[in-house]
Amino acid sequence: MIPSILANLDLAGPVQGPQNLKFGGGVSDSVFNPAVLAIVVVAGLLVFICQRKKAIIPFFFASLLVPTDQVVVLGGAHFPMLRVLVLFAIVWILKEKASSNRPLFSGGMNKIDIAVILLTVFVAINSVLLFQESGAVINQLGNLFTVFGVYFFLRFLIREEEDVVRAIRTLAYVAACVAMIMTYEIVTKHNPYALLGGARASAYAHLIPRGERVRAQAGFAHSLLAGTFGAVLMPLFVALWWKSKEHRRIAGLGVASATVITLAANSSTPILAYAAGVLALCLWPIRGWMRVIRWGVVMTIVFLQVVLKNPVWHLIARIDISGGSSGYHRYMLIDQCIRHFWDWWLIGVKDTSVWGWDMWDTANQYVALCDGSGLLPFVLFIAVIVYAFKYLGKARRRAKKDRATALFMWALAASLFANVIAFFGISYYDQTIVAWYSLLAMISAAAASQKSNSTDARTRVPADEISPVLEREEQMVQ
């Protein structure tokens, strides 16, 4: 550890930031296993030839199980396997749009879609303005390609409540695969993904220890991201359980797999996200008091801020569930972000390492957006979350006479809340974004479907009223 510390010190000057802060980082040459590329190409072809209802199956399996360290470099541009898959998805969208008049978004473009688009665009613009390098332009074009490709494709595929159910069922099978791999890691202390090579092969081969246990990560970039993936999916599988008895077998598999993934990661953030999802699910019996509960939480935070010696966000430093957690680091991230507001508020800052020890590691989605992109992208990100909760709330109220559907909407909201809590401990920078954007697509589709059903119910004329209407029309004709 001491040599690594000394390597980052300049005895004649200030502490230097890690080298990965320099823009344009990443592998300089293609690093991928030919077998992985073949699997991704086959999955892409299946996406291309499958019908809309089935295209999501190969997409989920390939995008979530193939690690992002498998990269093809073409002319200085990096194409992780996810971007290769997105290329097939975009071609598929163009094919579908050319052969049908189906709109790109179910129910039309909503506020979630607009917020996601604006968020992605302003992150790209601010990054280019901040670095003012050609590498920044190339990097952000790649991010735009990935985010828009994944989000638009999922929005195009997940259009109705039936599609939401199909997507969750597919995620249950994917989670089962991830759980088996992570269980193998725990037992053997070896990650089979190391056999594929890639940019993170050494990291896969040497699992991160946490006390007497290791932290499994499967094909994700970090054990935190792997565990978070399972934690935020758990409420979706409960939603499937509540939806119908015919889905309970696969829902049970999903819940068990999500639990195994969360525990195998051996990290506090996934456990907290999992607990948040469970808590949200348990609040269903007092759903009518949620406004009171929300304001009660706000008032409690204000009260603690007044009476405590340290700021209220210092409470994060005391959280240590798995043993050896870096809660103090998470506290310092928020604290330094607030203290340096005027440094980052416009377009972000290039280097946060000078703010304190390990402050370059912005393991917090909210802080990462603020420090790296500025205030406007942070506000847009919060808008995405707020609109998602609003749509689910309206959809649940419309379905109040249909208990199964109302419970389904509530469980989707529980998954969203689990993500909100997870964002305090990690930022999504690998294939976890697929799970995040798929949840947003599910929320939009479920809300649009429920709104359509509610509209149809209001405009439908009851059977006992049809006869009098016809009689009056006949009398008028006579």
Band the pLDDT of 209: cuts 50, 70, 90.
low
Residue 15 lies in a domain: no
* Chain segment 378-391, per-residue pLDDT in tens: 999 999 999 999 99
Query: Does residue 190 lie in a domain region?
Result: yes
Average confidence score pLDDT of the chain: 86
Please enumerate in sequence order all residues whose Cβ is within 8 A of that of 398, keeping only pairs 6 or more positions apart, or say none: 450, 451, 453, 454
DSSP string, 281-338: HHTGGGGGGHHHHHHHHHHHHHHHHHH-SS-GGGGGGG--SSSS--HHHHHHHHHHHH
Distance CA 353, CA 118 (A): 28
User: What pLDDT is stored for residue 157 in this prediction?
Assistant: 92
413: Cβ–Cβ under 8 A, 6 or more apart, which residues?
A: 280, 389, 392, 393, 396
What are the tens digits of pLDDT across the range 279-288? 999 999 999 9
293 belongs to a structural domain: yes
Average pLDDT over every residue of 447-460: 68
Could you tell me which residues come within 8 angstroms of residue 425 by beta carbon, excluding any fewer than 6 positions away? 224, 228, 267, 268, 269, 272, 273, 330, 363, 364
d(CA 57, CA 47): 8
Task: Look at residue 420 and give its three-state secondary structure.
Answer: helix
**CB 326, CB 317: distance < 8 Å:** no
Q: Angle 420-83-227 (CA atoms, 0-180°, nearest 5)?
A: 35
Model confidence band, residue 53 (pLDDT cutoffs 50, 70, 90): confident
Q: Is the pLDDT of residue 471 over 80?
A: no
pLDDT for 50:
86
> Phi first, then psi: what are they for 100, rounded to 5°?
-150, 165
Domain assignment present for 475: no
The residue that leads in pLDDT, 105 or 151, is 151
Do residues 32 and 198 lie in contact, with contact meaning Cβ atoms separated by under 8 Å? yes
pLDDT tens-digit map of 313-363? 998 888 877 666 678 889 999 999 999 999 999 999 999 989 988 898 889
187 domain-assigned: yes
User: Which pLDDT score, from 0 to 100, does residue 369 have?
Assistant: 95
Of the chain, the percentage scoring pLDDT greater than 70 comes to 85
With a cut of 80, say whether residue 400 has pLDDT above it: no
Whether the predicted pLDDT of 274 surpasses 90: yes
**Is residue 150 domain-resident?**
yes
- For residue 4, is it within any domain? no
**Greater confidence, 415 or 212?**
415
Mean pLDDT of 178-190: 93
Mean pLDDT over 209-218 rounds to 77
Instruction: Out of 106-115, 147-156, 244-253, 458-467, pick the least confident.
Output: 458-467
Structure tokens at 91: 């071609």
- Domain carrying residue 274: 27-470
- pLDDT confidence of residue 476: 44
* Adjacent-strand bridge partners of 77: 74
**Domain total for the chain?**
1
The answer on pLDDT for 265 being more than 50 is yes
List strand residue ranges (DSSP E) for 397-461, in order: none
pLDDT at 478 over 50: no
User: H-type helices in 346-374, by residue range?
Assistant: 365-373
| DSSP-derived pairing of the beta strands 213-215 and 208-210 | antiparallel
DSSP per position, 208-256: EEETTEEE--TTSSSHHHHHHHHHHHHHHHHHHHHH-GGGHHHHHHHHH
pLDDT tens, residue by residue, 72-94: 888 777 889 999 999 999 988 88
Residue 1 inside a domain? The answer is no
In which band, very low, low, confident or very high, does the pLDDT at 264 lie, cut at 50, 70 and 90? very high
More confident residue, 451 or 17: 451
